[in-house]
Amino acid sequence: MNRKRYYLLTLLLLLLLNPWDALAQQYRYKRGSKETNVLERGWVILLGGGVTAVRSDICGSWDCNDFGPNVSVGGLYKFSPYFGVSGTIDYVKLGAVEKNTDAPLNIAFESEVIEVAASAVVNLLDSYAGSGNYRAKRKRFMVPYIRVGLGGLYYNATSFPADRKLNDSQVTYDPQQKYPAFAAVVPVGGGIRFYINDEFSLAGELGYRITSTDLLDNIPATLTNGSRKDEYGVLAIKLQYTPVFKNKIFSKKP
């Protein structure tokens, strides 16, 4: 009898707790997502800014870098909640001072770079939160992603004595090739996108550029015994804008 009474009480308790458990799950679900009326496909406008650092024959660490600005504009076409293709134009300013105490060259450089690239963008999580009937109405607040692409650089590099700034220097070293010059670039990286509303998202992104040139610093490898191509990194914040105002071209509504 006591055992039956125990089973009945347990069953009653489970029945009473079930709706509260469902409400708790729904609350946790809503905290991690936001309701939307826009599907995850179509055009997105990108605008970003950040800082850059270079890895060249004369500088391979943070302390010898002269961190420069980065500004980018572009567009992203989302084919699905997981995949998109972007095209971007970046302005990058690079600079560094030689770091070789064993054989100092007393040299520094500055470069201005225009980067044009196309990239594949892959979300590591579904942009939608939930499942079933709720999935199409709620977007995940935070989505990590990776990107890899291919592009070109149009750049101008100047080297000069390290004890002066370029604007103050009366001496610049001879160009090692004809500038402006062109080079290929492979941009790779990743970030986290934060959903704000149907129109705006904000992303923090860390990227790395592998180039085909050794003259982003206007310093030949024969002078430094370097063997690798010049590379640079970009840490940026990007605003993503999806035009949805009474427009069926940019976004489709469910």
pTM: 0.76
Task: Report helix, strand or coil for 4.
Answer: helix
* 13: exposed, middle or buried (Cβ count in 10 Å: 0-12, 13-18, 19+): exposed
- State the fold for domain 32-241: Porin (2.40.160)
pLDDT at residue number 57:
83
Which residues lie below 8 Å from residue 7, measured CB to CB, with a gap of 6+? Answer: none
Averaged pLDDT of the chain: 81
Listed in sequence order, the residues at least 6 apart from 86 whose beta carbon sits closer than 8 Å to its beta carbon are 46, 74, 75, 76, 77, 118, 119, 121, 147, 149
Cα 17 from chain centre: 44
- Helix residue ranges per DSSP H, the chain: 2-31, 221-224
Q: Is 9 within 8 Å of 16 (Cβ atoms)?
A: no
| pLDDT greater than 50 at residue 85 | yes
How much is the pLDDT for 148? 98
Q: What is the mean pLDDT of the segment spanning 104-127?
A: 92
Most confident of 30-39, 119-128, 155-164, 188-197: 188-197
Q: What is the mean pLDDT of residues 153-167?
A: 85
Give 129's pLDDT tier (boundaries 50, 70, 90). Answer: confident
CA nearest 111: which of 243, 208, 232, 216?
216
pLDDT band at 137 (very low <50, low <70, confident <90, very high): low
Q: Show the CA angle centred on residue 214, arms to residues 209 and 215, nearest 5°.
A: 105
Cβ neighbours of residue 239 closer than 8 Å, sequence gap 6 or more: 46, 47, 48, 200, 201, 202
Q: Which residue has the higher pLDDT, 102 or 61?
A: 61
Q: What pLDDT, in 10s, does the model give residues 189-207?
A: 999 999 998 899 999 999 9
Cβ pair 151, 115 in contact under 8 A: yes
